[in-house]
Homo-oligomer: A and B are copies of this chain.
Amino acid sequence: MDLKRLSHLLALADERHFGRAAERVHLSQPALSRSIQALESETGQRLFDRDTGDVRPTPAGEFLIERARRLLFDARSLERDMALYSDRQLGSLAFGVGPFPAAMLMHQVVPRLRLDHPAVTLRVEVNNWQILEARLRAEAIEFFVADIRNFTAESDLLIRSLGQVSAGFFVRPEHPLAGRQVSMGELEGYGIATTRLPEVVKLETARTLGISTRQALPIVLECDDVALLKTVAGSTDTILGVIHGAVAEDIRVGRLIELHVVDRPGFHSEIGVVSLQGRSLSPTALCVIEAVVGEMQSVHVEQSPRF
């Protein structure tokens, strides 16, 4: 059953005339005649009654024509859908985001995606990097955006760095430490709320501070939900330790202010895109990654610490 043949069938069914039907399918008239004959031979049924100057479908012809019309419609839909898919206007995309990138980038990127690609089904998994890595290997997500400092030596993962983003300590405006220079030691009395940090980051930070014990950072609340962390910092004197991008809006409206820590360590995060080595990404995934890159760049500009 060849689709081209079936399209010849439909042309003849519509035109009821070999000459015109042949023209319609860009074929010579004898070629169309042969094509129809081949179909009749294939089905073992006469499909058209030809009385000179009068071509009409037989009952068997009507039967086949009706079904062929549906099949060809479906075939054309498939081609159209594939074109739309290539144009990122159809399909589905699942990707992951770490807590910080989610708070910093996704509030811009996801609404934009919904506007630009309304027919693409999205699944955005916000989770910590361990879960995201497992999800990626299980191919439940195509890629994820997260802190990439855990994935240095992994050769089966393709890691694209989007650069470092600085972090800081943030408190509510009425906080006792607000508005003046503070030392790291002073933070201990209030405790720090932050996301679940990779071990490497904790150790590195401690080392930067010149402290050998893990207790160097007085973390009193570990939670991957940045919105929840903000609520805690906004309603208590707990100190929020996150990247600047995650609280840009809160600082703008005055809900939070940054502490001016004089001996502040090189507290930062390195954001990157992680995908499986050697696996192609969908057009939409590539598009989202570009959007994330672009968003990172634009955030970077306005992301310098403000006191």
Contacts and interface: CB of A to CB of B under 8 A. Distances in A.
A67 interface: yes
A150 interface: no
10 pairs of A and B residues whose beta carbons are closest in the complex: A59-B282, A58-B280, A67-B78, A46-B280, A1-B79, A43-B82, A51-B278, A63-B85, A49-B279, A49-B280
B59 A285 contact: yes
A146 to B, nearest CB: 20
Nearest to A77: B67
Interface in A233-291: 278-283, 285
A142 interface: yes
A19 interface: no
A303 to B, nearest CB: 32
B60 A283 contact: yes
A130 interface: no
Contacts of A46: 280
A88 B100 CA distance: 67
26 contacts: A1-B3, A1-B75, A1-B78, A1-B79, A3-B3, A43-B82, A45-B85, A45-B86, A45-B283, A46-B280, A56-B279, A58-B281, A58-B282, A60-B283, A63-B82, A64-B78, A64-B85, A67-B78, A67-B81, A68-B78, A70-B74, A71-B71, A71-B74, A71-B75, A71-B78, A74-B74
